[in-house]
Structure formats: C-alpha cells, structure tokens
Chains A and B, each alone.
Chain A
C-alpha cells in the first residue's frame, strides 16, 4: 500500500500570507494525486486533481504541483474561508485509494 505523508501537520498563518503544503508518497504515483479541503462539519471538497488541475469553481489562488513522489499545494494569499484541513489522495493501478493524514491550516 502506498503511504502518503503530509507536512506540516499544522500550519499557522495570517490572512494574506502564502501557504505551502507538502504531500510525499512512499512510491511513485505519477500524477494521480488529488487535494481536498475540509471545513468543520462539512464534507471534503475537491480542489486539485491530476496533481495540478483545478476542479470546477476553485479559485485561482489554489495551485498544485509535483509528480512522482513529491507534491505541493499552494494557496497564494490566504482568505479567511481557506482556514481548514487539507488532504491529499492517490490512486494507482491496484484500485486501492489512500489519503494523507491531513494538514490543518489555522489562523495565527
């Protein structure tokens, strides 16, 4: 099973700052990586798929990059509504999907 490790666990930033979240895979997942945002009491929302493609309706301040084993989600300038937990997720040929442990972006 491919393990996804997200870092940091918690990121304390102020509105307007840039957020950089990391997701590292235990083996290559090519570009089959997605990012989700989850706010308290809500279902996850798809942000990025295929490592770098923004989902429908996602603001341009969200961007994804990387391939192979190292991936990054960047929020260029944090808005108040961006403070949430972010998960990465992969799926390779085995049809088994796994998620990372999450990064909480909190207000500093």
Chain B
C-alpha cells in the first residue's frame, strides 16, 4: 500500500524558514517523480514544486520560485521542501503527491494527508 507521511509543519514568523519532509513507503520511491501541492485554509489546490525520479530536474511555481527548494533522498525514501523567506500567503496545508511516471508530471496518483504551515507573527 502506498503511503506518504508529511512532517515538519508548524508556526513560523514572516521571513523565517522551515523544512518539510515526506516519508514514502509501499512503492519504489526512486522510480517516480514527486511533488508538493498546497491548500490555503478554505481555499483550492495550488501546485508548488516537482522533481524527477533522480532529482536532477526540479520545477517550481512562480509564487515560490527563488524561495522554495524541492529535493529528495532516494536512499531514505524521503522528499523534502526547504522553504525560506516565508510570507503570510504561504500559510497552507502542504501535501506530498506522487506522480505515476519518472519525469513528466501529468497528474498525481497518490497523496499524503498533509502538514500545516502557518506563517504569522
């Protein structure tokens, strides 16, 4: 059974940093592209970042480009999101989401339950 377990969320002040993790199990992690998708309270879904199976290629939404960095450790079956220069508008539930392919992300076939990030002073 595919499982994605996010952690690392919490309360952080504007301008601060946070690193999210996503522990994967139930599939061969190194064979699939992975993503972060977020959802602000009471709002819709927003894709944040993606990276390929090897981690060689990464992609970020314009809203986080230059501030967030996605990475992975295939030896630990773990996905990361380093978030710097956080803003109030980054407040959201952050989901880890698996793509059904190695590189080209067309959609997301499995999702974690999310970790909440709150940016507030």
Contacts and interface: CB of A to CB of B under 8 A. Distances in A.
B47 A98 contact: yes
B13 interface: no
Interface residues of B, number: 21
Contacts of B107: 34, 46, 49, 89, 91
A43 B109 contact: no
Q: Which of A45, A97, A98, A101 has its CB near the most chain B CB atoms (within 10 A)? A: A97
A1 B63 CA distance: 12
Contact of B47 (A38, A96, A100): A96
B45 A43 contact: no
A79 B98 CA distance: 28
Contacts of B109: 46, 49, 55-56
B119 interface: no
Contacts of A46: 107-110
B86 interface: no
Interface of B: 35, 44-47, 50, 59, 61-62, 95, 100, 105-114
Given A43-B95, A46-B110, 15 more contacts: A32-B106, A34-B108, A38-B45, A44-B111, A45-B111, A46-B107, A46-B109, A49-B106, A89-B45, A95-B50, A97-B35, A97-B50, A99-B44, A99-B46, A100-B44
